[in-house]
């Protein structure tokens, strides 16, 4: 699988090192506010791998749930809002919510999920993104915690997919150009 990559942007070791730092940053941010419990909302499928590893570096009580959205990024209606296809079951009202997602690209997905979560009236709402792809932002949303800043390239691995493949790669990289549109994959 790794041989399908043209380049590795973030290595397995860099991810491992950053996870520890990020866990400490998150833990300290909440402890500084006297908060010892958070509700963590993971956006599936992309953030599953990241969230699974990250929660074990957060030294707070963590209640966990997932939310699934479907973004239609087609040419016909590129402005359409991502749709929530599976909402959270956890009662997050009055709790300190940390939303975890894989990548901040245009920011449209994040904006619509934040809107849904605000509707539950959490005590606070923060965001943690594995990757921040700057330069493509359409909305003025920045994440509170960011794993890595990356250039404007399509990346796969560590949860991120191309046609639902490569999520299980343990690094993050760019696919070889000739693999970016294999006709047999749907
Ligand atoms: P946004 O709404 O434009 O910010 O898009 C975010 C979503 O698009 C992410 O949660 C990913 O599912 C997908 N996405 C954006 N860029 C990439 C990429 O480089 N690789 C894989 N998926 C991506
Ligand atoms: Mg995807």
| Residues near 169 by beta carbon (within 8 Å), at least 6 away in sequence | 1, 2, 5, 156, 157, 158
Residue 165, both tokens: 């493949």
pLDDT for the residue numbered 180? 82
Mean pLDDT, residues 25-36 taken together? 98
pTM for the structure as a whole:
0.93
pLDDT for the residue numbered 165? 94
pLDDT for the residue numbered 78? 53
Beta bridge partners of 40: 64, 98
pLDDT for the residue numbered 73? 59
| Ligand found nearest the CA of 174 | 1
User: What residues act catalytically?
Assistant: 105
104 lines ligand 1 (CB under 6 A): yes
Q: DSSP string covering 166-177, please? A: -TT-SSEEEEPG
pLDDT for the residue numbered 72? 64
Residue pLDDT, tens place only, 118-150: 999 999 999 999 999 987 788 777 899 999 999
pLDDT for the residue numbered 5? 97
Domain residue ranges of the chain, discontinuous segments joined by +: 17-150
User: Are 101 and 127 a contacting pair, CB within 8 Å?
Assistant: yes
Mean pLDDT, residues 98-119 taken together? 94
Quick one: fold of 17-150? Rossmann fold (3.40.50)
107 lines ligand 1 (CB under 6 A): yes
Q: How confident is the model at residue 51 (pLDDT cuts 50, 70, 90)?
A: very high
Ligand 1 mean position, distance from CA 98 (Å):
19
| DSSP code of residue 80 | P
More confident residue, 160 or 84: 160
Ligand 1 mean position, distance from CA 34 (Å):
34
């Amino acid at each position: 699988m790794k041989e399908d990559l043209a380049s590795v942007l973030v290595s397995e070791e860099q991810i491992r090192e950053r996870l520890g730092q990020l866990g400490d940053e998150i833990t300290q941010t909440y402890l500084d506010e006297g908060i010892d419990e958070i509700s963590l909302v993971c956006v599936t499928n992309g953030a599953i791998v990241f969230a699974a590893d990250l929660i074990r570096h957060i030294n707070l009580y963590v209640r966990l749930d997932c939310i699934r959205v479907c973004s239609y990024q087609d040419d016909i209606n590129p402005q359409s809002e991502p749709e929530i296809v599976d909402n959270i079951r956890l009662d997050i009202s009055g709790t300190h919510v940390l939303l975890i997602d894989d990548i901040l690209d245009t920011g449209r997905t994040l904006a619509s999920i934040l809107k849904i979560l605000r509707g539950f009236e959490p005590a606070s709402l923060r965001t943690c993104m594995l990757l921040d792809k700057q330069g493509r932002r359409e909305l003025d949303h920045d994440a509170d915690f960011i794993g890595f800043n990356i250039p404007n390239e399509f990346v796969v691995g560590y949860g991120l997919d191309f046609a639902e493949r490569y999520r299980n790669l343990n690094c993050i990289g760019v696919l070889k150009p000739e693999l970016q549109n294999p006709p047999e994959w749907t």
